[in-house]
Amino acid sequence: MPLIENSTYRAPSWLLSGHLQTIYPALFRRLPHVTTRRERLELADGDFIDLEWAEQSRPRLAILCHGLEADTRTDYIQGMAAALIRHGWDVLAWNFRGCGESPNRLLRMYHSGATEDLHEVVLHALSRHSAKCVDLVGFSLGGNLLLKYLGERPAELPPRLHRGVAFSVPCDLACSSAQLARRSNRLYMERFLCKMRAKLRTKALMFPGQIELAGLRRIRNFQVFDDRYTAPIHGFEDAADYWARNSCRQFLPAIRLPTLLVNALNDPFLGPGCYPFEEAATSSYFHFEAPATGGHVGFSPSRRAKEYWSETRAIKFLSF
């Protein structure tokens, strides 16, 4: 029963809250870019995804999935990539549709459950890299995407997939959306919405008459945004339908690949529905770890450590 009850993570004493543990790495961690070789992957529907590689023909490859409104340049992606490279992996980091330097071609963009895009990235990586085993690592929305992918059609996954690790995942999208709508999380919500509004304005110029921008500036939460834009653009009835069909928690019992999820109990983005203790307790493959602290995609180490705890933890799990 892979429920990990005693996590080894302890936040530095000077990072006193989940908010500080979330904000500190985002503001102050600065890393060199290690995934430097760029490639554009043409998709089956006529769109594209921008990839970044760090490769030396090693026998292990890790594919990294970023979070909401992030990209491959995000420090938690580059930090994980650097750690994996030090420990013997090649790395492929990918930008979700519309998250690279250029807007994607189609009206649709990325969303929390777009596993078809992840599948195309995996197949492309397997077609051109000789790695004997391929691991998946995801953060936040990218973690939801990864876990949904592993549990959606487990019998159809490529046999060279080895293990998966995810951090700070909104396993229940409705629950997480309600949590982020709280007054205490207004800073995070507005930061996300600011970027999402900008992308919609670009799309409105690309597709005249297909996106109504009136009132866009007044939207203050994901409920309204997803009702009005995310759901209809991507073929869902409304926000509730989008959240229900794409939350990864329902897919966890079907996972048949060793997989680790780490969600800190003080993560300000996650509500009670985002802690799948029961699923881990009854699974032989899905491992769940809930440190008392860590914030959202935080897990800062002590000042002496070279790696963030999340990087060390991922490598330990993937090394089996």
Active site residues: 140, 267, 296
**Closest C-alpha among 33, 63, 222, 35 to residue 129:** 63
Which one-letter amino acid corresponds to residue 174? A
The enclosing H or E element of 93 equals: strand 89-94
**Closest C-alpha among 26, 96, 12 to residue 268:** 26
Contact 67, 142 (CB under 8 A): yes
Cα–Cα distance, 94 to 54 (Å, whole number): 12
How far is C-alpha 204 from the geometric centre of its chain's CA atoms?
Answer: 26
State how beta strands 60-65 and 89-94 pair: parallel
**Closest C-alpha among 11, 55, 7, 96 to residue 296:** 11
Identify the burial level of 77 via C-beta atoms within 10 angstroms of its C-beta, where 0-12 means exposed, 13-18 middle and 19 or more buried: buried
DSSP code for 230: I
Identify the burial level of 155 via C-beta atoms within 10 angstroms of its C-beta, where 0-12 means exposed, 13-18 middle and 19 or more buried: exposed
Cα–Cα distance, 253 to 2 (Å, whole number): 12
Contact 187, 155 (CB under 8 A): no
Tokens of 161: 């997939």
Cα–Cα distance, 275 to 266 (Å, whole number): 11
How far is C-alpha 76 from the geometric centre of its chain's CA atoms?
Answer: 11
